[in-house]
Each structure stands twice: as structure tokens, then as C-alpha cells.
Amino acid sequence: MNDSKQLFKPFQLGSLKLPTRIVMAPMTRSFSPGGVPNAQVVEYYSKRAAAGVGLIITEGTTVNHCAANGYPNVPRFYGDDALNGWKNVVTAVHAAGGKIMPQLWHVGNVRRLGTEPDASVPGYGPMTKHKDGKKIVHGMTQADIDDVVAAFAQAAKDAQTIGMDGVEIHGAHGYLIDQFFWEGSNQRTDDYGGSMAKRGRFAVEIIQAVRAAVGPNFPIVFRYSQWKQQDYTARLAQTPDELKAFLQPLSDAGVDIFHCSTRRFWQPEFAESDLNLAGWTRILTGKPTITVGSVGLDGSEFTSFMTNTKEVAQPASLDALLARFSAEEFDLVAVGRALLVDPEWAAKVRDGRQDEILPFSRNALGSLS
């Protein structure tokens, strides 16, 4: 049995001082009518901080661009009403002893006509797409790119102003930034398409703009994934050398911590090593990393819970995770569904009450608890 107390050691990187190594992973909840986080959202996050989560990364929050949003009732990170709502969350999380960052998000071509706040706006992405004679995705011009870069920078500055402890830029899972990374969705012939370096330019410009807006001491986390919602077998990088070529420009642009999204943390990223994606990223960049992927739960496929199912994900041993943590494969551990269903998850792990941890089922998605 590995000692879970190692997850409750402090972590410090510059101005970021975390009381524990446990991170709440960003999970879209859709409980912010009009895009404004309310008292329920305040309680939802503060309860997890009070129970021992060192860093909360919020659900995806949309930046101030006409096509950033793709879903109803997700929170935004612009406008006085929404920012005041987030300031209430910050105050409560800090009072509970935790730290918090917003995940800054643009859904890109995932957006569909009819989506709030302006139903007439199509998705925006690297490439124009038509269906049945209608333009469903607007291929981004240079002016569009500049607008989105500026929107991320402004959101980061607003996060700093209201007392957030850093920002996470969402560059994963087939959303806008990742759409530029991925060769399958980016076949541009200008400076933003072609080679891996060119496909990464959009992300680099966003990171640089965020860094310029917040200064040198405000933490920037960057979340990326090899897999996509559209293709679980997709790989941006097939080898460690390719992964280094992908990551180094992002690191140089100003990323402090990489959040390495995988579906199952225990799966090796490349055949020649048992290291997972966070482990490889830590070695290749020299930057701290966050691992994530079915932590604390059995191998039930998390996407199965997006449909009407009676499947239940049962609590699972942390021994494999703790062995990797002890080997310094990664620095921080993000917990998703296990924390979504059980706000006391961290406290139960800390206190040896694993037998009290709640299983995860689709019912947990129906409310904030």
C-alpha cells in the first residue's frame, strides 16, 4: 500500500503556493444561466477546496468572442455580471484554503448555428465548412485570429484582476486551439497551417499575449491532449522527438505548467517506456506537469456517461498512481469524475476513509453537489 499522504504535500512554483498536490480537473457543468456563476457554483467549488483540493481549475469559461460558446448555460469570463460571479467564487475558495484558476475556452468549429448567445453565429475554425448549402463553420481570417488572441489575453488579465491564482488555456480535446494543432482539421496554406510549428503558431500567439497581459509572475497552465473527442486514436506526436518539437514552442512562449490530458493515467504514451503523457512532458520540457485520467475510478469509459446509461464507475485503488507520483513522473494530480460526485473525496483519501468514497454514475451530472 502506497502512502496517500504524499498527495497532501505542498507545491510551490513562483507565486503559486498550493496546500496539496490534488487538482480539480475542469468539467463542464452547465449550471450558470446567462453565463453567470451563481451561489450554487460558489458552494460547489468552495466545498472541494475545504476538503483538501489544492488547486481548482474551473469548468471551461468562454472568452469574449462571438463564437466562443458551444453549449447552453456554460459560464463566461467576460462582462461585469459574470466576473462578479467569479469573484465570489474566488473569495469562497480562498476562504476555504484553496487556490483557483479559470479554464479559458473557445470551442471553435464545435459550435453550431442556433447556439447562444447569438444563434446566427456559426462555428469558427481553421477551415470553412459548408453543409446543405449553408456555411456551418467560418474559416478564420487574420483579423479573426487577432480578435481571439486578444480575447484570451483580456480574460487572463481579468482573472488576475479579480484575484484568481493563474489561468489555464484550453488547448485540448478538439476545441479551437487544438483544431489548429491537428492536421486533420487544419489544412491551411498560410502561416498557421502545414508544419507542426506553423499549426502551433496560433497557440503560441495566445500564450505570448496572455503572458504580456499578466506579467512574468502570474501562472499559466496549458492543457493539451493527443486524443480528440472526434478520434480517440489521434496522435499529434508519434514519438518523443515529435512531442518535444510540439511542446518546446509552447514552453518557450510562457507556459509554466502543462496539464496533460489522457483518458487513463496508467497507459504508457509511447511503446519504449512506461511513462505516461505527463511523465514524458515533464522530461521533455523541464516544466511541472499535471496528470489526469480516471484517477480514483475503475476503467469505465467516461464518455459512456454522456449517454443514457445505468453504468457505474466504482472507486479504485490509488496504488498505481502513488507509485508513479513517488517516482516523480508528474507533480500534480487532477481528479475529475471522482471529485464531481464526491466533494469530500480528497478528505476521505487523506483520512483513510476510502471505503466511504462514492461511486460515479450519470445521476451526478444532473445537479451541482
- pLDDT single digits (tens) 79-96: 999 999 999 999 999 999
* 162-178: pLDDT as tens digits: 999 999 999 999 999 99
- Determine the 3-state secondary structure of 195 from DSSP: coil
pLDDT band, residue 300 (cuts 50/70/90): low
Domain parsing of the chain, residue ranges:
4-366
pLDDT in the model for residue 233: 79
* 9-33: pLDDT as tens digits: 999 999 999 999 999 999 999 999 9
Percent of the chain's residues with pLDDT above 90: 90
Instruction: Using the predicted structure, report yes or no on whether residue 303 has a pLDDT greater than 60.
Output: no
pLDDT in the model for residue 273: 96
Full-model pTM: 0.97
Distances 97 to 51, 54, 84, 158 between C-alpha atoms, Å: 9, 8, 20, 22
What are φ and ψ of residue 135, in 5° steps? -80, 110
pLDDT band, residue 309 (cuts 50/70/90): confident
DSSP state of 44: H
Look over the chain and give the mean of its residue pLDDT values, rounded to a whole number: 95
pLDDT in the model for residue 1: 46
* 48-79: pLDDT as tens digits: 999 999 999 999 999 999 999 999 999 999 99
Contact 2, 306 (CB under 8 A): no
pLDDT in the model for residue 242: 97
Residues with a known catalytic role: 175
The fold for domain 4-366 equals TIM Barrel (3.20.20)
Please report the sign of the dihedral spanned by the C-alpha atoms of residue 191, residue 196, residue 197, residue 200: positive
* 201-242: pLDDT as tens digits: 999 999 999 999 999 999 999 999 998 876 777 889 999 999
Grid cell in block for residue 366: 444532473
Distances 26 to 254, 303, 344 between C-alpha atoms, Å: 21, 15, 17
Instruction: Using the predicted structure, report yes or no on whether residue 308 has a pLDDT greater than 70.
Output: no
